[in-house]
Each structure stands twice: as C-alpha cells, then as structure tokens.
Amino acid sequence: MFRTLPILSVAVLMGLSVWMSGTSAGGEAVGPKLLPAEGPKPPWACRLDKTGRERAFQGLGLVDLTLWDPEPDAPAPVKEERFAPALNQLCGSELSYQQSNQYAHWIVEACQRFDVDPFLLASLVFQESRCTSANTRPTMAVGLSGIDAAMHAPFLHNGRYSYWVKEGKEWVPRQVDVSAYVASVQNLHQDKANIFFAAALMHAYQQQCPDIDGAFQSVPHRHYISHMIWGDRVLETDGEDRVLRTRRAIIQYYEAGTPVSRARWKSVELFCPLDGCPRKVTGVLGDVRDSGKRAHKGIDFVSTLGEPVRAIADGWVVYAGVDAPGAGARKVTLDKSGTIRKNSMGPGGLFVQIQHKDNLMSEYMHLRNYLVQQGQWVKAEQIIGHVGDTGIKIDAPHLHFQMRESGEIIDPLVHLRPYLISPQATYRGQLMIAAMPGRWREARARMRVEAAGHREHRNQDLDATDSNNRTREDTSASEASATKGSNDGD
C-alpha cells in the first residue's frame, strides 16, 4: 500500500469525486462520464466486495486508459510443459517445480472447461496470493485467487452458479455448472477447487461485461478481470492494471523469445529493468525528498516485492553493495549481502551499478538481494537482483532506478520512455503535482532541464568513438561515482 504525504491528503480527498466519475464499455476507456444503464434494472442485487481487503483509494489508475499498449493475445494452444516453467518463473521461490506442474495442469484444465484465459487466471492467482494460499490475508478473501465467498454464495444453488446477461433490452438468466465441487468455504481453501471456481466466475463475468458496467456505474476500465476484484461495481483500475501487467510477464516467460529493444542510448540498445512493461512510475527526477532537503535522482517503478530486476544493457558491474549511513557506498561480498540489517542501511539500501558503452551507467536501488558482484560482465536482461524495500522509510517496496552519463545524472523518463507510464498519467500523480508547493515544482523542473542540458553539452564535447573494446580497467574508474551516487535512493 502506497502511503501519501500528509500535505496531499486534502487534495486527494478533493479529487476523489472526480476520480470516481466514469464507466466503461467493452473493457475500453470511453471517457469520464458515466454510461446510462440501458434497459430494465438488473434482476439481482449488486455483488459487492465483502472481503475487507485493503483497496483504499491510491489513484494509480490512468486518467486516459488508451495510453496502455494493446494487451498481447494468449498463445494458443497452451502447452502445459511450457506453461508450468513460466508459472514457476512468475511465482519464484513461493512455488516448487512439482507444485508448478500441478498448478499449471489445474489452471489449463479449468480454463479449457470454462473457456477463459489461463495466463489471466495465473496472473490473478499471483496478485491475490503470490501463488500460495497460505499468503492470503486474514479476511474473507479465500484461497489462491482470493474468492469472495460471501459475495457469491447467494448465486450458488444445486451445483449451479446463476448470473444474467443482456440480450437486447432484457436480462436473460444463465448458469455455470460447478457441480464438480461442493461450493463451500472449506473447498475454496483447497487449491484445485479454488482454481476451478475462479475459472467459472471469470466465465460469468466475461459474459456479463460490459453490460454490468453501465448498470452498476463502474469507472472506466479495460478488462472484465476488474470484476473479479471488485464485484459488479468497479471503483478503480489499478487492480486490473497489476493483473494485466503480470499477464504480460508470464506470456513473456512462456514464449521465451528473443526480446526486442524499444529504446536506445546512442549505440546501446536498452531494455526494461522489470518484466511486463510498460510499467507505471511514481517518483521522477527532481522530486523533493526529506521535506526539501534533497532531490530525487531517478525514477521509482511501481513494483512487487521479490520480482526480478534486470540489466538494461550489456555491461560491467562496477559496484554491488550497500548504502551505509554516513559512510557512502560500502562493498559487500555476495555471500554476505543477505545478512545486513535493514536499519543499518542508508536511503539507497542494497544497490548495483553497471557501466555500459557510450559512457552510460545504470543504477538499481532498494534491492532485496543482488546476484552479481563487482567486475562481473552481465548481459542485457540478465537478472541482477530482486525488488526489495532496503533503505525505504515510508513507501512500499519498489525499484529506484537511475541513469548517468559520465557521472552526471540523466533522466530515465526520457531515455526509457517506451517502457514507462509517467506519474502525470495517473490520478495520484496529477493530485500530487497540484498539491506540490510552487518552489518544489520549480526545483523539480530545473533539475530535469539541467539533466537534459548535461547530455546536450556532453554530446558536443565527447567524440563518438565506439566503446566496444573497453577494458575492465577502464570501467574501474567508474567506481568513484558509486560513492558520489550512494545516497540517491528514497
């Protein structure tokens, strides 16, 4: 859960009514106005989330939903022998290989039965439980997929789940056969049954969306998966964004193809440091930290604790260690990186710096761990660590990412643009900017202009000699910037 600064609370509350005023049609953005419900009133009471899950207003939904790239089609047919390792890669240490094979079989089987997307169901399972029912919160959100048993119980009778779809101007009853399992809370705690019922409910919502959006005055959203989170009335879109982001990642793992770069730095092809891009960004270069005492020197990715962090390009690891308070960067051997106490770290936490060609350096902070060591050569998209919360005081786990040219800060929001969704594209970002003191906005803008100026100046002064044959001794000179940039985290 992201925490906002106290200064933002009034602005957030003032903006809440604006944020809530929208609906959707066809899972696509249709504008800020509510769609009128067509035809008669639905013949059932609105299914509302009763789980007590923390779904407070965060404002991370996009103002303009068309900014998202079209979601990729699911590979077909789905092969279990490929789906299982993709699921294992998504869930990481939470799922053994044996469990991955079992879950993959159950997911594919249930999705074939109810004609829904197995990549979507796997993503919902990950977002709701991190792939283990033991991780679900102590609420009424039951099992792997976080099913709201209380919300759906009135619609279950004699092995059938009842719902209605609109045909013309009438609501017509439909049923899903779920008689393979007794619909009980006890059964929903069983992994196989939970997956089965989740696929059945997805089938029902797939048939009902978008008709129920206008009928129950949902906000604009892109996909019926929002209803698995909210019920009939969708109140925000960040939940579906997280599920769809995860779906992009698992499809990426399943296809295991050669990634295509969508960004460049001079002669260097750049890749996204996290999977499932494009990704939302919260903090940007120049944001004020510690009540104006220092400026943010990179960007913050909305992230999930433990997800892999990847090198954006080929390069040498010039630093892997910890930001030590009052001492700058401190090298730590790989075997000891997991033994450092969080409260002994500075704002950057555990972090890694990589030197690339053309005087480019990338920096990855707040890591939970790192898997590389100084002097190591890494390839683009190689996993170098995992998202953590080291060095973070008040925010949720996330990746803080920086870029430098010859030691000078440059703006990742500019150079990785195809992979990013700017904070200003979200309701939260707009409210934060509106609530930001004028002097802070001016300082923020000035730093970003200066970062752009450094690049222009250096492009004029530096020759364009190719750095392909750079030696390890050359990169060791970059270690000086590790201390210089050590306290740049949040």
Beta carbons within 10 angstroms of residue 402's beta carbon: 24
Name the band, by pLDDT with cuts 50, 70 and 90, for residue 300.
Answer: very high
Does the pLDDT at position 307 exceed 70?
yes
Question: Residue 270's beta-bridge partner residues?
Answer: 263
Could you report the per-residue pLDDT of 130-179, keeping only the tens digit for each?
999 876 565 678 999 999 999 999 999 999 999 999 998 899 999 999 99
pLDDT at 284: 80
| Paired sense of beta strands 288-289 and 299-302, if any | unpaired
Positive or negative: CA dihedral 212, 217, 223, 229: negative
CA Rg value for the chain: 24
SS3 content of the chain, % helix, strand, coil (to 5): 40, 20, 40
Rounded (5°) CA angle 73-96-241:
35
DSSP string, 114-175: HT--HHHHHHHHHHHHTT-GGGS-SSSEETTTTEEHHHHGGGEETTEEEEEEEETTEEEEEE
* pLDDT average, residue stretch 8-32: 34
Q: Between 158 and 394, where is the model more confident?
A: 158
- Amino acid letter, 283: G
Could you report the per-residue pLDDT of 187-234, keeping only the tens digit for each?
999 999 999 999 999 999 999 999 999 899 898 899 999 999 999 999
CA distance 300 to 488: 12
What is the 8-class DSSP label of residue 112? Answer: H
Residues 6 or more apart whose CB falls under 8 angstroms from that of 357 comprise 266, 267, 268, 313, 314, 315, 466, 467, 468, 470
Domain boundaries in the chain?
6-252, 263-484
pLDDT at 470: 39
Could you report the per-residue pLDDT of 354-390, keeping only the tens digit for each?
999 999 999 999 999 999 999 999 999 999 999 999 9
pLDDT at 449: 75
For 121-146, letters b (16+ CB in 10 Å) and e give bbbbbbbbbbbebeebeeebbbbbbb
Could you report the per-residue pLDDT of 25-76, keeping only the tens digit for each?
333 333 335 556 666 789 999 998 877 766 544 578 999 999 999 999 999 9
* pLDDT average, residue stretch 396-411: 93
pTM over 0.85: no
Q: Between 467 and 267, where is the model more confident?
A: 267
pLDDT at 432: 79
Could you report the per-residue pLDDT of 432-472, keeping only the tens digit for each?
777 776 766 676 667 777 777 655 544 444 343 333 333 33
Does the pLDDT at position 93 exceed 50?
yes
Does the pLDDT at position 20 exceed 90?
no
* pLDDT average, residue stretch 407-412: 91
Tell me the CATH class for 263-484. Answer: mainly beta
| Paired sense of beta strands 288-289 and 294-295, if any | antiparallel
Continuous H helices in 326-437: 412-415, 427-435
CA distance 392 to 345: 9
CA distances from 268 to 312, 476, 482 (A): 10, 20, 22
* pLDDT average, residue stretch 255-260: 89
pLDDT at 158: 94
Q: What mean pLDDT value characterizes the chain? A: 82
Share of the chain above pLDDT 90, in %: 58
